[in-house]
Amino acid sequence: MVVIVRFKVHAQQIIEAGRWIDQQGWCPATGGNFSIRLDASSALVTASGCHKGHLTDDDFLVVNLDGEPLEGHAGRKPSAETLLHTRLYALDTRIGAVLHTHSVASTVLSRLESSDWFELSGYEMQKSLSGNATHDETIRLAVFDNTQDMTSLADQLSARWTDQPLQWGFLVSGHGLYAWGRDMQEARRHLEGLEFLFACALEMRRLGAN
Ligand SMILES: [Zn+2]
């Protein structure tokens, strides 16, 4: 019960985000996982296997930045993808919340993208992403091949970050999106903006435009 008492406010932010994300249809069938930074060396993450639209106070664990559980309810374990959340917290101390979703648009677009980057330009909605003041910029999201080896994927993320720090989110091919922000509010805005942009890009491709 320790998690409930100490981190109830943090858990509530994730529960509310989960309800909203579920309403959008971006996390079907227990997919996805969410987290919020607690301090410099730990985060609150959703447990594996629970439906993200119906989270309760029992569905959380505290983990260190290696993704290892520190506190949590008996029988609950962090999802394998926790390591990507905690690696993001380790790579950038300004990141305060991470939302990983499995939407149709991010799943399809990431499969269609054959390069290591997914690029967008010309959309007013790009301004929903922090640091963008105009539709004129080209925004780039890293695309990683999907794998069940999270250590390998986390190391690829670190390598790509060292080359060029990533912003707002990244895609995993045939899998989904990781979006983040300095707090839950910004992470939600980035997720919503990116999903809108993905929907536009998918519609453009459907129409044979790019
Ligand atoms: Zn996933």
pLDDT of residue 5: 65
Q: Kindly state the tokens that stand for 173.
A: 């091919």
**Residues 103, 198 contacting (CB under 8 angstroms):** yes
- CA 7 to ligand 1 center in whole angstroms: 24
| Domain ranges across the chain | 2-206
pLDDT at res. 1? 45
Centre of ligand 1 from the C-alpha of residue 56, in Å: 20
Task: Give the pLDDT score at 54.
Answer: 94
Q: What is the mean pLDDT of each run of 10 residues along the chain (210 residues)?
A: 72 96 91 94 93 92 94 82 97 98 94 92 87 86 94 97 95 96 97 96 88
**52 touches 43 (CB < 8 A):** no
For the record, the structure tokens of 131 come out as 């640091």
CA of 148 to the centre of ligand 1 (A): 10
Query: Which amino acid is located at 53 in the chain?
Result: G
Domain 2-206 class in CATH: alpha beta
Ligand 1 centroid to residue 177 C-alpha, Å? 8
Residue 210 confidence (pLDDT): 67
Q: Are 70 and 85 in contact (CB under 8 A)?
A: no
